[in-house]
Chains A and B, each alone.
Chain A
Amino acid sequence: MLDMVLKISLICISIAMLALIYRVIKGPTIPDKVIALDAIGINLVALIALISMLLKTSAFLEVILLVGILAFIGTVAFAKFLEKGEIIERDRNH
């Protein structure tokens, strides 16, 4: 029963990721693509959680937190590049 529910959820999230991939490829502006990539990262978190439930293991729980952190850092870095043109400033007070 639970396996069936998990598989249906996996299919739903895969469809959502496919729609996001369409937005990454087609997105008219760069910020559209960045937000779609961030959402793909969050969907990946859900995908890993469902798969670790399906495989009945807790070995992937670190991966979930890791993907969340990496998606956040990556999105912040890209947002800063789009806004200021450089990612790491030498001295921001001049």
Chain B
Amino acid sequence: MKKNDVILQTVTNVVVFMIFLFSLQVFFSGHYHPGGGFIGGLMTSGAIVLLLLAYDIKTVSKIIPIDYKLLIGIGLFFAVATGAGSLLFNVPFLTHAFSHFDLPILGETSLHTAVLFDTGVYLVVIGVTMTIIQTIGEGE
């Protein structure tokens, strides 16, 4: 019997973007407010889980054609490369630096290399969560 969940799918199409924007906001405000890479990654994977609930694994892998196991590797590379980059400037491993830049639209912004490390955390959290959920969901 074919079920018609048009209400769930329509609500999901709207809500997924809200959750994704909220997760990005939590991720980027992590330096000055509660939040950061971990909770941002969990919220992003929550948005993808909502897509998985409304549709199915095949459709979602067509919408978001990402290999999540590769995402773990990219995230770990980001974290290690941020740490190793400090070695180029003759300072200890994982030393971070920041400076103020005049960006075109945002005006004067302080950019910190900890954001790159946090990007690594963000990608690893998305990769691990989605790998676990997809592996369990695919098992018969």
Hey, which bits of chain A sit against chain B, CB under 8 A? 59, 62-63, 65-66, 69-70, 72-73, 76-77, 80, 83-84, 87-93
Contacts and interface: CB of A to CB of B under 8 A. Distances in A.
Given A69-B46, A72-B15, A73-B46, 19 more contacts: A62-B26, A62-B34, A69-B19, A69-B22, A70-B46, A73-B53, A76-B8, A77-B53, A80-B53, A84-B3, A88-B53, A88-B133, A88-B134, A88-B137, A90-B56, A91-B56, A92-B55, A92-B56, A93-B56
Interface string B114-140: 000000000000000000011001100
B58 A90 contact: yes
A76 B56 contact: no
User: Do most interface residues of chain A lie in helix, strand or loop, or is the interface mixed?
Assistant: helix
A61 to B, nearest CB: 9
Contacts of A72: 15
User: Do most interface residues of chain B lie in helix, strand or loop, or is the interface mixed?
Assistant: helix
Nearest to A88: B137
Given A69-B43, A72-B15, A83-B3, A88 B52 contact: yes
Q: Which of A63, A76, A91, A93 has the most CB of B within 10 A?
A: A76
B140 to A, nearest CB: 8
Nearest to B12: A76
A56 to B, nearest CB: 16
A77 B46 CA distance: 12
B94 interface: no
A74 to B, nearest CB: 10
A73 B49 contact: yes
Nearest to B136: A88
Contacts of A76: 8, 50, 53-54
Which 4 pairs across A and B sit closest by C-beta, in order of nearness? A88-B137, A89-B56, A92-B56, A91-B58
Contacts of A66: 39, 43
Contacts of A93: 56
Contacts of B56: 88-93
B85 interface: no
A87 B22 contact: no
Nearest to A77: B53
A16 B57 CA distance: 39
